[in-house]
Amino acid sequence: MKPKLDVVFSGVGGQGIVVLSDIFCEAAMLEDFDVAKAEIHGMAQRGGSIVAYARIGARVESPLIETGKADVVVGFEVLETVRALSMLKECGTVIVNMKLIPPSYLSRGVKLKSREELLELLKAKGLVHEVDGTGIAQKLGNTLVVNTILLGALSALPEIPLKAESFQQAITSRLKEKYISLNLKAFQLGRESVQKVKK
Amino acid sequence: MTTKIFEDKPGSYALLNGDEAVARGATQAGIKVAAAYPGTPSTEILEALAEGAKDLDIYAEWSINEIVAAEVAIGASMTGVRAITSMKHVGLNVAADAIMTAAYTGIEGGLVIVVCDDPALHSSQNEQDTRYFAVHAKLPLLDAGNPQEALDMAHKAYEISEKLRLPIILRLTTRVAHGKARVKLGEFQRLERKPEFDKDSTKWVMVPANAIRQHRVLESKLSEAKKESENSQFNLVEDNASDIGIIGSGVGYYYARSVLDTSEFSWLKLGFVYPFPSELIKTFASKVKKLIVIEELRPYIEENIAGLKIDFMGKNELGLEEIGEFTPDKIRTALAKLHLTTKPENLQQPPNLPPRPPVLCPGCTHRAFYYALNRIHQSVHCENDKCVGCSICEYACSFEKEGIFNPLKSRIRTARINATNLAFTCRACIDAPCVKACPQEALTQSKQTGLIKVDEAKCIGCDWCIEACPHGALNLHPTTHKPLICDLCNGKPKCVSLCPESALSLRGKTDDKIVAGDIGCYTLGFLPPLKAMQTCLCMGGGISQAAGMIHAGVKDKVFAVIGDSTLFHGGMPGLLNIVYNKANVCVIVMDNSIVAMTGHQPTPGSGKTAMGQNAKTINIESIAQAVGIEKVITVDPYDLETSIQALREAISYEGPSVIIAKRSCPLLIQRGPPREIKKSCNGCKVCTETFGCPAINQTGSKAEIDTALCRGCGVCEEVCPFDAIGRKK
């Protein structure tokens, strides 16, 4: 019997959230999992909150995850990770990219918590893997691969029932030829960022 | 988009969303013609078909609007080939005129009308339920609950359509259309049909004598359709010999299955929902003691079951609303009320976080033009929490204007009220009360800038204007006894540049004009900080709403904002109408030559078709001139000064006018050099509080630019009053 796993991807429009959750599902399909996912396209291509849900298992009926039932939350940015936190089960796992993107317009009187305060909220709820996705991406010379770094980190979690090769194959078949080697490298660095902590 | 949609590998799996699955199903059925207008969440259907069109040997087009698309598909079907048209629910209203009568004429080649409803209005202006449209139009409707059903239904619908000789409506909802799932692909049917049109006019000319006969034909087709729905593969019974039976349609059915132990209940998934399969329902109901109905939006199934005099528990008993979309949480809560499952756990409220609503993208041309629109009338604004009451503004003003340091001769005044320091000056009110109050007609207000001018020869120093000012912003000159009124120092107020606390800034107004809006990315201009438009009704509606206000007697200049694609879609009749019926509307066309909101589909202004072929580029200036608009100005929205000038010109023009703010969507062109905040930034917040680019934010004492988000448009350089933004070195 295939294990069930529910993942929430949360970030800001333009960070590659939809593509990443697609690749995650495609990797699962390579290992004969049933998958269903939900996302919303439309208004606001850049800059709004974006959430994608991905569910894998022997049979998945609903594309949406129940509140408080997600096994893992992958956050592309600190504030949006906290926003998705109510989806996470007790003692679930959080992968968070350490970047904070403040909202462009703060209504008067609304105070933005600091990155450290927000991280505390995450740690109170589950096991948190902090990934310097933006920093690693800068070293690779392309800030657009943050999402692949986070996918690498996700793939290295003990609760993920999928092989690294499946992810690599899904990346290779999804992306344009010229971006593949860069993304495979980003994937590997993402994996290592979590593995290092585990040791 | 995944390229796997059209792979010729029957039996294999692909990760497809509901829209892509529809495209796959329709091509499996051998369609020849596809036509649509983009609309979330239906867009990806035609997008996929257009991308695959060449290889699949089909014709796909983005039509001007939904009724044109429906007519194109109907025309193709009349020649015997299979055709598809797809639209969002509100697009169906536009296409309704053609579809209602196509039900009478019937079809030759199979015709499927795909309609995507949007419960919870993720990107729509209402929540209509297309199942009721099917009843209204008397057309059979299939209701898909997941991408696999969408694929299978899209394929099978052609067989049903040709059997019944009727168009079939295939309904999806957002969670089906934009949810992805593992979908099993089917086999391609190879149809070699030669298009032939049967010229029998009695069949196609819906004059009364023919149409009434066809109405009778439609009724008999519907009784055939009922037999189809009674026996449809899409009305699936899972009989688990339970006392409790659950009937559902759409994605809500699958939420129920995911929160219950499915083996403990009997299930009926309704997919062929109109005509209603009443016999099937009666049989199912007779085998259970308790019947539960789960359906999103309106209680269509419930009303039909009630009509059969069968007892059931529905929205009322379950506490489910007709408003919004279902979620597994809502369904669990509802079913827990009947003790069929446990209540949701862990439903804690998320911490109070600042929202990140949809916004206009960094570099957006619409933001730039809205900013210009807000700057037609401007005035000096004082931030009370920064003002220390030092009075330097008064000295600066009196010296600049009168050549003397004397606060009594200043056009700006400071005051201390309780614990707050303030500075007041003329706000350039709309329909300024001071002008009205003057008994000598010595005061006049510029239509273009809103600034008040004093004719000193006429002024008798009576003080009435001072009394009339609601802001306490006017004063009499101590010796000449003429009013002192701010004139903004030709756009560069001395008080602003010399304020040591950066409490003063020159700001535009968001509430001084009526701006009717429309549907597109630019609808987001209603949000703060721009707050630049006030209506959004339907495609192309803004121009005529504005005209209606004017005919009602509104005296202000009324603007209507519309995008290029929306103008082509539904705005052109309104544009012609304001000329014919003489409405003094200034129409602003936000022309980025693309349908940006739905993901950059080409328009008649793009010079490309859906299938990537070159097309004649339609010029909006020529359209405006052709319908008789005599004042047509084209500007680059990134050029704020020219845009403001054009707007001021339009304000003083008598008669309908058009301003075209033309520039490509920044997401489609290469980024410019990123900008950065210079050391000279004084934290005045004009950029964040009046312009609102998502790449700029200010959490500390100075603004910051996120270079990863910055598109390098450079408009913020024009916005900054202190020259504190420049290219990144």
Q: Which two tokens stand for residue B341?
A: 């499952």
- Rounded to 10 deg, the angle between the A164-174 and A17-30 helix axes is 120
pLDDT at B134 over 80: yes
Domain boundaries, chain A: 5-101+114-198
Instruction: Say if the Cβ atoms of A83 and B258 lie within 8 Å.
Output: no
User: Measuring CA to CA, which residue among A113, A7, A112 is closest to residue A63?
Assistant: A7
Can you tell me the distance from the alpha carbon of B253 to that of B149, in angstroms, rounded to the nearest whole number? 13
Identify the three-state secondary structure at position B525: helix
Can you tell me the distance from the alpha carbon of B703 to that of B677, in angstroms, rounded to the nearest whole number? 7
Q: Confirm if B712 and B669 have CB atoms less than 8 A apart.
A: no
pLDDT in tens, B106-132: 999 999 999 999 999 999 999 999 999
Average pLDDT (B614-624) is 97
Can you tell me the distance from the alpha carbon of B119 to that of B131, in angstroms, rounded to the nearest whole number? 13
Find which of A34, A62, A78 to mutate to test the B interface (most B CBs within 10 Å of its CB): A62
Q: Report yes or no: B7 at the A interface, CB cutoff 8 Å.
A: no
Residue of A nearest to B328 (CA): A66
Predicted confidence at residue B2, as pLDDT, reads: 45
Instruction: Say if the Cβ atoms of B328 and A49 lie within 8 Å.
Output: no
Can you tell me the distance from the alpha carbon of A59 to that of A3, in angstroms, rounded to the nearest whole number? 10
CB count within 10 Å of CB B159 equals: 14
Q: Which two tokens stand for residue B380?
A: 């000096």
Can you tell me the distance from the alpha carbon of B101 to that of B107, in angstroms, rounded to the nearest whole number? 11
Q: Confirm if B694 and B688 have CB atoms less than 8 A apart.
A: no
Q: Taking the C-alpha atoms of B274, B275, B278 and B283 in order, what is their torsion angle to the nearest 10 degrees?
A: -70
Predicted confidence at residue B477, as pLDDT, reads: 94
B contact residues 244-263, partner A, Cβ 8 Å cutoff:
251, 254-255, 257-259
pLDDT at A115 over 50: yes
Instruction: Say if the Cβ atoms of B349 and A86 lie within 8 Å.
Output: yes
Distances (CA, A) of B311 to B230, B292, B303: 20, 9, 11
Cα angle B173, B175, B180; round to 5: 125
Can you tell me the distance from the alpha carbon of A55 to that of B251, in angstroms, rounded to the nearest whole number? 15
Percent of chain B with pLDDT over 70: 99
Predicted confidence at residue B722, as pLDDT, reads: 84
Closest in B40, B182, B251 to A41, CB measured: B40
Query: Chain B: nearest CA to A189, how far in angstroms?
Result: 21
pLDDT band, very low/low/confident/very high, at B447 (cuts 50, 70, 90): confident
Predicted confidence at residue B577, as pLDDT, reads: 98
Q: Confirm if B183 and B149 have CB atoms less than 8 A apart.
A: no
* B141-143 and B290-294 strand pairing: unpaired
Closest in A47, A68, A86 to B359, CB measured: A47
pLDDT at B285 over 90: yes
Q: Which two tokens stand for residue B11?
A: 């039996």
pLDDT in tens, B474-530: 999 999 999 999 999 988 899 999 999 989 988 888 777 899 999 999 999 999 899
Predicted confidence at residue A107, as pLDDT, reads: 66
Instruction: Say if the Cβ atoms of A47 and B355 lie within 8 Å.
Output: no
Predicted confidence at residue A41, as pLDDT, reads: 60
Q: Which two tokens stand for residue B681?
A: 């930034």
Q: Which residues of B touch A121 (CB under 8 A)?
A: 351
Q: Report yes or no: B428 at the A interface, CB cutoff 8 Å.
A: no
Q: Confirm if B141 and B300 have CB atoms less than 8 A apart.
A: no
Predicted confidence at residue A44, as pLDDT, reads: 53
User: Measuring CA to CA, which residue among B331, B352, B350 is closest to residue B340?
Assistant: B331
Predicted confidence at residue B721, as pLDDT, reads: 84
Mean per-residue pLDDT over chain B, rounded: 94
A115 burial (CB, 10 Å; 0-12 / 13-18 / 19+) is middle
Predicted confidence at residue B346, as pLDDT, reads: 65
Q: Which residues of B touch A143 (CB under 8 A)?
A: 708
Closest in B181, B667, B708 to A45, CB measured: B667
Predicted confidence at residue B449, as pLDDT, reads: 84
Instruction: Please give the helix or strand (H or E) that residue B423 lies within, else none.
Output: strand B420-424
Find which of A46, A91, A111 to mutate to test the B interface (most B CBs within 10 Å of its CB): A46
pLDDT at B366 over 70: yes
Q: Confirm if B104 and B206 have CB atoms less than 8 A apart.
A: yes
Predicted confidence at residue B293, as pLDDT, reads: 98
Predicted confidence at residue B251, as pLDDT, reads: 97
pLDDT at B4 over 60: yes
Which DSSP category does B592 fall into? -
Who has greater pLDDT, B577 or A196?
B577
What's the first-to-final CA gap in chain B, in angstroms? 38
The label of the residue with tokens 């060449």 reads B54
pLDDT band, very low/low/confident/very high, at B270 (cuts 50, 70, 90): very high
Q: Confirm if A14 and A46 have CB atoms less than 8 A apart.
A: yes
Can you tell me the distance from the alpha carbon of B390 to that of B367, in angstroms, rounded to the nearest whole number? 35
Instruction: Say if the Cβ atoms of A45 and B123 lie within 8 Å.
Output: no
Q: Which residues of A touch B347 (CB under 8 A)?
A: 67-68, 86
Instruction: Say if the Cβ atoms of A61 and B254 lie within 8 Å.
Output: yes
Q: Which residues of A touch B146 (CB under 8 A)?
A: 36, 63
Who has greater pLDDT, B349 or B133?
B133
Q: Which residues of B touch A45 (CB under 8 A)?
A: 361, 596-597, 599, 667
Task: Tell me which of A24-33, B163-172, B638-647, B704-713 is least confident.
Answer: B704-713
pLDDT at B658 over 80: yes
Diameter of chain A measured on Cα atoms: 53
Distances (CA, A) of B432 to B351, B450, B648: 45, 9, 18
Average pLDDT (A118-134) is 93
Instruction: Say if the Cβ atoms of B346 and A112 lie within 8 Å.
Output: no
Can you tell me the distance from the alpha carbon of A96 to that of A77, in angstroms, rounded to the nearest whole number? 7
User: Measuring CA to CA, which residue among B302, B278, B356 is closest to residue B131?
Assistant: B302
Q: Confirm if B70 and B33 have CB atoms less than 8 A apart.
A: no
Cα angle B164, B237, B255; round to 5: 105
Predicted confidence at residue B141, as pLDDT, reads: 98
* B420-424 and B413-417 strand pairing: antiparallel
Who has greater pLDDT, A46 or B26?
B26
Find which of B13, B15, B20, B174 to mutate to test the A interface (most A CBs within 10 Å of its CB): B15
pLDDT band, very low/low/confident/very high, at B68 (cuts 50, 70, 90): very high
According to DSSP, the residues that pair with A111 across neighbouring strands are none
Residue of B nearest to A137 (CA): B708
Q: Which residues of B touch A80 (CB under 8 A)?
A: 356
Closest in B15, B146, B182 to A22, CB measured: B15
Can you tell me the distance from the alpha carbon of B25 to that of B483, in angstroms, rounded to the nearest whole number? 76
Closest in A44, A61, A104 to B257, CB measured: A61
Q: Which residues of A touch B327 (CB under 8 A)?
A: 64, 66
Instruction: Say if the Cβ atoms of B696 and A104 lie within 8 Å.
Output: yes
pLDDT at B682 over 60: yes
pLDDT in tens, A130-165: 999 999 999 999 888 999 999 999 999 999 999 999
Distances (CA, A) of B125 to A103, B542, B691: 25, 14, 26
pLDDT at B350 over 80: no
Can you tell me the distance from the alpha carbon of A11 to that of A30, in angstroms, rounded to the nearest whole number? 26
pLDDT in tens, B371-397: 999 999 889 999 888 899 999 999 999
Find which of B9, B258, B704 to mutate to test the A interface (most A CBs within 10 Å of its CB): B258
CB count within 10 Å of CB B136 equals: 12
Q: Report yes or no: B9 at the A interface, CB cutoff 8 Å.
A: no
Predicted confidence at residue B1, as pLDDT, reads: 45
Instruction: Say if the Cβ atoms of B347 and A67 lie within 8 Å.
Output: yes
Query: Chain A: nearest CA to B199, how far in angstroms?
Result: 43
Percent of chain B with pLDDT over 90: 86
Q: Which residues of B touch A63 (CB under 8 A)?
A: 146, 175, 179-181, 251, 254
pLDDT at B231 over 50: yes
pLDDT at B188 over 50: yes
pLDDT at B557 over 80: no
According to DSSP, the residues that pair with B585 across neighbouring strands are B558
Residue of A nearest to B691 (CA): A105
pLDDT at B186 over 50: yes
Instruction: Please give the helix or strand (H or E) that residue B619 lies within, else none.
Output: none
pLDDT at B638 over 50: yes
Q: Confirm if A75 and A18 have CB atoms less than 8 A apart.
A: no
CATH number of A5-101+114-198: 3.40.920.10
Predicted confidence at residue A132, as pLDDT, reads: 96
Query: Chain B: nearest CA to A186, how far in angstroms?
Result: 18
User: Measuring CA to CA, which residue among B143, B147, B155, B146 is closest to residue B27?
Assistant: B155
Average pLDDT (B693-721) is 91
Find which of A6, A18, A45 to mutate to test the B interface (most B CBs within 10 Å of its CB): A45
Task: Tell me which of B27-36, B341-350, B591-600 is least confident.
Answer: B341-350
pLDDT in tens, B75-98: 999 999 999 999 999 999 999 999
Predicted confidence at residue B303, as pLDDT, reads: 98
Instruction: Say if the Cβ atoms of A47 and B694 lie within 8 Å.
Output: yes
* DSSP annotation string for B121-189: -SS-S----HHHHHHHHT--EEE-SSHHHHHHHHHHHHHHHHHHTS-EEEEEEHHHHSEEEEEE--PPP
Q: Report yes or no: B349 at the A interface, CB cutoff 8 Å.
A: yes
Q: Which residues of A touch B350 (CB under 8 A)?
A: 82-83, 85-86
Residues 6+ apart with CB under 8 A from B35: B46, B60, B61, B62, B63, B68, B69, B70, B72, B73, B83, B84, B85
Q: Taking the C-alpha atoms of B502, B506, B508 and B511 in order, what is their torsion angle to the nearest 10 degrees?
A: 70
Instruction: Please give the helix or strand (H or E) that residue B54 lies within, else none.
Output: helix B43-56
Buried b or exposed e, range A28-62, using 16+ CB within 10 angstroms: bbbeebbbbbbbbbbbbbbbbbbbbbbbbbeebbb
Instruction: Say if the Cβ atoms of B354 and A36 lie within 8 Å.
Output: no
Buried b or exposed e, range B694-724, using 16+ CB within 10 angstroms: bbbbbeeeebbbbebbbbbbbbbebbbbbeb
Query: Chain A: nearest CA to B575, how far in angstroms?
Result: 26
Amino acid letter at B250? G
* B244-249 and B266-270 strand pairing: parallel
CB count within 10 Å of CB B605 equals: 21
Which DSSP category does B362 fall into? T
Complete domains list, chain B, with CATH: 3-230 (3.40.50.970), 236-337 (3.40.50.920), 365-374+510-668 (3.40.50.970), 378-508 (3.30.70.20), 675-727 (3.30.70.20)
Q: Report yes or no: B120 at the A interface, CB cutoff 8 Å.
A: no
Predicted confidence at residue B436, as pLDDT, reads: 93
Identify the three-state secondary structure at position B709: coil
